[in-house]
Every structure is written in structure tokens, then in C-alpha cells.
Amino acid sequence: MTKEVNIDIGGGSKAEYFSALASIKKDELFIVLDPKKFKCHYVNIYPSLQPMRWGATQNWELPFRSRSVDRAHLNFVYDFISAWGLDELPYQKLISSLKRVLKPNGQVFVREPKIPLEILREFFEREGFVISESVRIEKQNQTPTYASFIKWAKKDPVGEQQSIYFPMEFVATLAPQ
């Protein structure tokens, strides 16, 4: 049976998020994409954890076949992706590529602080994805960057919940064409 394919775009050189998932779900594939050199010893422990040194620059085309990916994760990468071009263009190109590589009903898990999260909802909606509500990130779904944002949100004079740093998530599902 073919394994379900999960990708983590900008998953970090230590691949912490997918290492945790690969330790629980042994029958799925977990591919971590990041331009940095990987320093993750879990790749020797979990065969389903696969680092791929990849950093998008110009066209943001993901290195996968069409309709081959079940789930994609975009955890706190908006700033990094936007830094590659004017405005939101690079992120929109990435969404187009996600549309190509995802299987029908494939899902994208988007995690960001409040402000970019609301902008990103619109981008995905415009591309025909079905969007869930934005909710607080569950305890077991934390990433290293999540911890930094929570720390800043706690220090924010407006209060943690109202803070622009407060990290949240939504799921975008690719409706079958």
C-alpha cells in the first residue's frame, strides 16, 4: 500500500515538528523541506522521516509530482516566504504550486500569528480552497517558533489573547476539481 505523504515547508533544520509526528505515525511519510543544512538525528531513528534540502527562490514550484501529496504544513513561514519578493506574491505562487501537488481533498495546515493568518485565509479562499475556522493551536501541535510567539504575546500590554503575536491555525482543503 502507498504511504500517505506529508510535507513540512520550512520545517527547520532540526525538523522538530515532523520528528514528533514520525515517532507516532509510522505508516506515513514525513518530508521536511528547508534550505538549511539538517541537524536532526531522528532521521536515523525513524525511516519515514525524510529531510529534503530545498529552499524556494524564484518560482516556488514544489519538488513533487502532481497530485502526490496528502497534507502540507506551513508553520510560521510567512515572513520568510514574503521576504523573497514584493508583497504577498511568493506566498501566492506557493499556494498555486500546492494546488498542483496536493491530491483531491488534500489539506494545508497553516499556522501563524493572528494578522498574517487572516490575510492568508483570503489567499487560499481565492484559489478555491475550503477554509476551516481559525482556532488556537492545540498543545500537541506546537512548533519551536510557536513558543517564541507565545512568549511575545504574554508580554504584550494588550493581553495574550488580543496580541498580534498570538499564534493560531486554520486548515485549507482542496476541493476536488
Interface ranges with ligand SAM (CB under 6 A): 9-12, 33-36, 55-56, 75-77, 80, 84, 143-145
User: Toward ligand SAM, which CB reaches closer, 34 or 169?
Assistant: 34
Whole-angstrom Cα distance, residue 112 to residue 54?
21
By 3-state DSSP, what share of the chain in percent is helix, strand and coil, each rounded to 5? 35, 30, 40
* Type of residue at 37: K
- Minimum Å gap between C-beta 36 and ligand SAM is 5
Residue nearest to ligand SAM (CB): 10
Closest distance of CB 130 from ligand SAM, Å: 24
CB of 81 to ligand SAM, least distance (A): 7
Q: Which is nearer to ligand SAM, 77 or 174 (CB)?
A: 77
Nearer residue to ligand SAM within complex by CB, 29 or 110? 110
Four-point Cα dihedral 100, 66, 23, 145, nearest 10: -30
Question: Nearest 10 degrees: CA dihedral of 73, 145, 124, 70?
Answer: 0
Nearest-Å Rg of the Cα atoms of the chain is 16
Q: Could you tell me the smallest distance in angstroms from the CB atom of residue 151 to ligand SAM?
A: 13
